[in-house]
Structure 1
């Protein structure tokens, strides 16, 4: 296979990454609305609209802020609006999307968790997007470091590199299966699946970035890894509280 894989759209050559990223968002949203129609938990229009706006605004802003802060020196020395707009990372999108949702829920006074329904659409969207990352090879900063392991692949230069996009796809497929098994037990409080997804994904991304090129910000950690650590600590605390409430409820029931 030759890298990068491109498409001819309206006479222009387009890299695979933005095409698959757009397709992933579209299919993920369609899957979400499908699950929402089937769900027994119905939210009012005002609450649904507020959550959607909060999530979208937070994810859009966060993906670009964290994406650009991966190389802060380049951002501040050679700032351009086009460069700022085209730099994205799913880590920033998820972290700031969460903040946007929580702020929106406070504004409309909604206290219940709303995250479980978006878990599998998110996984689907990320998987499709990562296919695009893989097909783009080294032509965008979504590739791995050179390696001598059996997993090394030529992604558009002379080096055998970690195919980190394929690693992530494999992890997400495994997580899909595991979370489906947990969901079938139907004995967990609302929001628990989303907490598990966020904790698992951010731990994975923290570790994965050790085999990806990065600008070291603190020690040998890059910006994305620092964000991951903050989110990991938050969800360890959140899951600990959820488990405590589950145990308390079971004790009371007995």
Structure 2
């Protein structure tokens, strides 16, 4: 995709859908079908690594039920006999979720809410979160500062560009674990500080916050079914379907611009 143009201003819905498909953020995504189904099966079999901090009980023990939700909310192929090869994310569903997210962001800005950002995908989504945090701060929101000295999963939890991340060995870590978010929320409680009104995150960071009753928005790939189940059950406020690590993080810029424009927020330098 060398030389692919990046839109410089907020795109229309049609322009964004075209961009999502061209960059494979949605449409024919890189995550293969067999990987998706493997994750759905492991979630249904009770592997908590795939629950992303949610408590799913015995409500999702049938892999086909998980597939049905993923077809409805993410846009994967709904044919259970399609076992390998290409799978999809419906770009219309991606933009629909961004529109729902924009409503939540507008409410947060109007209410000057406390918002916490976190990512387990710093290589892909860090700047999406950073841009959103900057716009909400400019609108009067408080971006929650996490306690110092937090540890989880043999690493350190700290903030980089307003975004909570997990660090190990001087490297920002890709993690699905809910433990870093649990460390933040427990740390805030120990210090007697208020919890966030809203969490915007992904992976176990979003799932943990939603499970604890905090309004939570999560970005999720087609092989991360738990957050979509969480939205279906009302535990997560919004789950946005997308490939969460495309080849160039700048490909997410038009999506972020669309989101901020839909929320009535002003992008910041």
Q: TM-score range by the shorter chain?
A: under 0.3
Query: Max radius of gyration: which structure?
Result: 1
Q: TM-score, normalised by structure 2?
A: 0.26
Q: Which has the higher helix share?
A: 1
